[in-house]
Amino acid sequence: MHNKKVVLVVGAGDATGGAIAKRFAQEGFVACVTRRSADKLQPLVEAIQATGAEAHGFACDARKEEDVVALVEQIESQIGPIEAFVFNIGANVPCSILEETARKYFKIWEMACFSGFLNGREVAKRMAKRQRGTILFTGATAGLRGAAGFAAFAGAKHGIRALAQSMARELGPMNIHVAHVVVDGAIDTDFIRDNFPDKYATKDQDGILDPEHIAENYWYLHSQPRDAWTFELDLRPWNERW
């Protein structure tokens, strides 16, 4: 067990999160992936295992402290040390501020910001003891500027960016690389294909993000020497307005 290296991807969906888990698995990492429903993780786990790599899926509500504490303890005690952690929960739900409800605003913040704190804190505790590790947060342009109709999402993404900044400054001297990735643009997913066909039609012109290309940049961040660490990395297609 002690020779294993684990990547924990919280929010391992069918696109970006899954691609990141596969990319790290290619490098010999044990891929530990989470979603609220374990059943939805099975295709990803099986795809990674089919390559000869090791993968484990966990059902976990990233907003619940007791679940997160138990998850990290289980991985660390039964599988191996978490050397890389990726937080990849989105919660991009547009709504006019005139119609936004307190319940939905709070839920979006819980998903996209508070859960990042819970998971990041637990992983950081383990990495700090070992004096090494990588923590990567998936952000969005909403974390830099709040667009009309996205008050809840922008608030949450501003919060996760601030969390990443604070953690980077505190944990960097402990040899822990914390980075924030701004992913701006449509990603090659079934959702974009089915709901935004005009946007999806630009795929042939490299107009939407390829999850594997996103994942390559996450691996690049993890691989950086600490004399040239990146804190913030922007990823967007050439034709995306920003």
Domains of the chain, first to last: 6-235 (3.40.50.720)
- Check residue 239 and give its pLDDT: 87
Rg (CA), the chain: 17
pLDDT tens for the chain, 242 residues long, are 457 999 999 998 888 999 999 999 999 999 999 998 888 899 999 999 999 999 999 999 999 999 999 999 999 999 999 999 999 998 888 899 999 999 999 999 999 999 999 999 999 999 999 999 999 999 988 888 999 999 999 999 999 999 999 999 999 999 999 999 999 888 888 878 888 888 888 998 898 899 999 999 999 999 999 999 999 999 999 988 87
Residues 6+ apart with CB under 8 A from 128: 171, 174, 176
- Check residue 14 and give its pLDDT: 80
Q: Rounding to the nearest 10 degrees, give the CA dihedral for residues 85, 182, 24, 48.
A: 100
- Check residue 240 and give its pLDDT: 84
155 contacts 146 by C-beta, under 8 angstroms: yes
- Please name which of 24, 140, 124, 25 lies closest in space to residue 89, comparing C-alpha atoms: 140
Residue 224: how many CB atoms within 10 A of its CB? 13
Residue 86, SS3 per DSSP: strand
Residue 126: how many CB atoms within 10 A of its CB? 17
Strands 55-59 and 82-87: unpaired
- Check residue 2 and give its pLDDT: 57
- Check residue 169 and give its pLDDT: 98
